[in-house]
Amino acid sequence: MAAACVSTLIVNANTSAVTILLPAIGEDVGSPVSTLQWAVTGYSLVGAACIVTSGALGDVFGRRKVFLGGLLLFIGSCVLVALATSGLAVIARRAIQGAAGSTLLASGLSLLTIATDGPGRLRAVSYWGSASAIGAAAGPLIGGLLVDTMGWQGLFWIDAAIAVVLVPVTLRSVGESSDPNRSRSIDWIGTVLIALVLAPFILGVSEGSDWGWTSPATLACFVVSIASIVGFAKVEATVSAPLVDLRLLRNRLLIGATLGILIGAATINGLMFVLSLFFQDPSTLDMNPLQAGLATLPATIGMIALTPFVPKLASRFGTRSVIGFGFIAMTVGFALLMAVDSDWGYLMFVLPVVLAAIGMCLSNNPCSSVATSSVDEAQVGAASGISNMARYVGAAVMTAIVAALYSVVSTNQAADGAATAEALASGFRSAAVALTAVSAAGIALVYLVGQHRPAHAGTGVDVAIAAAAPSHTIPRPSAAAPVAAT
């Protein structure tokens, strides 16, 4: 249990901290943050491609083997990132870390639930969900603190050291397990095609302004992405063990919940990215990394305070109502940020950011609940895999979009003679417009999610699952059956 819980804590802390570190990394390696956004989007892109595949590898070849492989890959990637001296090196090594992180999340939860049963399984899932939530919430603060004491590399050295300790713990305390009934086939082609869908699209979005939106290079990126979507659908329809069971796409509730998860992950990750840049720029709020990390505390506190009540609210008012109110709160928060001006102080950001965080809290857990409760028990693993993949996809795509808007609009405004602070505020407003539009789409999608009332609400395991929902979908375990981890 310790290895699984600690690994998810450090993975989620690492993931959420890196955005705070980007300005410091850029200054050290001499790379603009507009380029270093690939350290965030590349991580999520690879994670999207690997989250389901790593679970399948564990089922076939042994969950402990795959978990240990994830630990070793995570250790190696942390060391390599800490030693990086160029932006390209940081980006490439963070992509490797994306594979390691998704592997640890997928195989860790599976190991945890295989090793427990009855009430112990509920308790184990509660601990894992709580560790996931704590890591995600503490990451920005830890990252900011370490930059000021050990440099930006400190986060990666400490994560590597913790992961090293987990290797002997895993070898000593975790037994091997696999699924003898699962097909031995691994959908490698589907894994590659997921990456080929996302990477060219994100490249086109990121560079389209410089290349020209109708230039051959930009159009080629989008063509490759579309062709890969078509190829992915054909492959998934023919392989024996697909990443995505296309039959599930006929499930209206699952599709609605998954899109809600994607939108929530997309907008909150996009917001955290642009806030970190705006808060730390010398021309605007001029925060140091620790101050920027502390600036996220109101949002974190709001989510922590509300999380215990979300399952009860969903049970009382129904998931559709709670999800709808959540997306309304997010949309209002983002809409308020469309008024950002160069003379805004930090306090002006608190209400909009807290509204967005509360909305994320209200929408994400019910969407996760619907995603796993809308299918038969045998399909719960596949449904949770789809929703977890959607989180990575949303984070990768939206971060790229807001990074491009922030950079391009700011640069164009500065070229037209605007003061630096006002140019950056214009870039922020453009990003806020995109976040508002995407979040508003979540309101429109609510009709796809039926008025479901969870049978369980308010227990410790439900609260822990709700707390983990912004970063991972955890199916509620029964006392008899292991949790599907993909």
pTM tops 0.85: yes
pLDDT at residue 458 above 60?
no
Mean pLDDT score of the chain: 88
232-253 exposure pattern, b = at least 16 Cβ within 10 A, e = fewer: beebbeebeebbbbeebeebeb
User: What digits encode the pLDDT tens for the residues 13-61?
Assistant: 999 999 999 999 999 999 998 899 999 999 999 999 898 898 889 888 8
How large is the average pLDDT for residues 347-374? 89
Query: Comparing 462 with 199, which gets the higher pLDDT?
Result: 199
How large is the average pLDDT for residues 380-397? 88
pLDDT attached to residue 52: 87
Q: Which amino acid is at 1?
A: M
pLDDT at residue 152 above 90?
yes
Query: Comparing 247 with 156, which gets the higher pLDDT?
Result: 156
pLDDT attached to residue 455: 59
Angle between helices 319-337 and 347-373 (to 10 degrees): 150
pLDDT at residue 482 above 60?
no
Query: Comparing 316 with 114, which gets the higher pLDDT?
Result: 316
User: What digits encode the pLDDT tens for the residues 328-349?
Assistant: 999 999 999 999 999 999 999 9
Q: Reduced to 3 states, what is the DSSP secondary structure of residue 353?
A: helix
How far apart CA 110 and CA 125 sit, in angstroms, is: 10
How far apart CA 97 and CA 378 sit, in angstroms, is: 31
User: What is the 8-class DSSP label of residue 241?
Assistant: S
User: CA of 27: how far to CAs of 33, 274, 279, 330, in Å?
Assistant: 9, 17, 16, 32
How far apart CA 452 and CA 440 sit, in angstroms, is: 21
pLDDT at residue 111 above 60?
yes
How far apart CA 102 and CA 97 sit, in angstroms, is: 9
How far apart CA 473 and CA 457 sit, in angstroms, is: 16
**Band of the pLDDT at 409, cuts 50, 70, 90?**
very high
pLDDT attached to residue 182: 80
pLDDT attached to residue 318: 84
pLDDT attached to residue 485: 45
Residue found by looking up tokens 């922030």 in the block = 406
pLDDT attached to residue 334: 97
pLDDT at residue 477 above 70?
no
**Band of the pLDDT at 453, cuts 50, 70, 90?**
low
